[in-house]
Amino acid sequence: MGRPSAKERRPYNSDAILDVAVRVFLERGYDGASLDDVARAAGITKASVYYHVSSKEELLERGVGRAFDALDAVLQEPAARRGPSLARLRHIIRRTIEITVAMLPEVALLLRVRGNTRAERRIVERRREFDHRVARFFAAAQRAHELRSDLDARLATRLLFGMLNSVSEWYRPEGELDAAGIARAVFVIVFEGIESAATRRLENLPKG
């Protein structure tokens, strides 16, 4: 594949450059990728990239910001704020999966950031703040006796979000699975457990 000629180039706006940048950062790793790589992948000059953004850091923060804004917004949705905790947690889980599937590259990039530049540290910090908000929510649901109290809220939310976050690594949009199907499986595993009813009866253990 050659470089597109000036004529073939589609008009680039800031959003389209961001799409390319997120893809390049995912492919090469943020550390390994340069603004030159982004410009080359977009088929435009580095000067054109600079017309829209001032630095590689800005591309990272704005790319990852798309996913953050969507995920933060979930916690503000009425279904995440009102009603029984369990229904709210289900809503948060379902919406997190929907966003992961809909913004796969942005979410994957967000979760892979762990570097030491200021931009990366800010992202890690924002991720941590999100985790803390969910852990506080989990703890409140435990105090309301809606979730088991014999789990550490921080550990449980880390494990739960470990499960949800993994979707960004293995999900393939071209497959048959959709967000609703993933959510159903997560609900079964996390709210009901994977043991069959037969096994449960055999074990004769009180659950919950």
Could you say whether residue 8 binds a copy of itself (CB under 8 A)?
A: no
The answer to whether 164 contacts a copy of itself (rule: CB under 8 A) is: yes
Q: Which of 177, 179, 180, 204 binds a copy of itself (CB under 8 A)?
A: 177
Q: In sequence order, which residues have a C-beta less than 8 Å from that of residue 156 and are 6 or more positions away?
A: 138
Is the CB of residue 146 less than 8 Å from the CB of residue 85?
Answer: yes
Single-letter residue type at 108: A
Which amino acid, residue 147?
Answer: L
Q: Per rule CB under 8 A, is residue 161 in the interface with a copy of itself?
A: yes
Binding map of a copy of itself across residues 121-150, x = CB under 8 A, - = no contact: ---------------------x--xxxxxx
- The H-or-E segment that residue 187 falls in is helix 179-187
Determine the Cα angle at 194 with ends 190 and 195, to 5°.
135
Q: Are 168 and 111 in contact (CB under 8 A)?
A: yes
- The answer to whether residue 41 forms part of the interface with a copy of itself (CB under 8 A) is no
Q: Name every residue whose Cβ is closer than 8 Å to that of residue 4 and which is 6 or more positions away in sequence.
A: 43
Options 158, 174, 180, 204; binder of a copy of itself; rule CB under 8 A: 158
Q: How far is the CB of 148 from a copy of itself (least distance, A)?
A: 5
Among 170, 172, 174, 204, binds a copy of itself (CB under 8 A): 170
Applying CB under 8 A, which residues contact a copy of itself?
28-29, 31-32, 86, 112, 142, 145-152, 155-156, 158-167, 169-170, 177, 181-182, 185-186, 188-200, 206-208
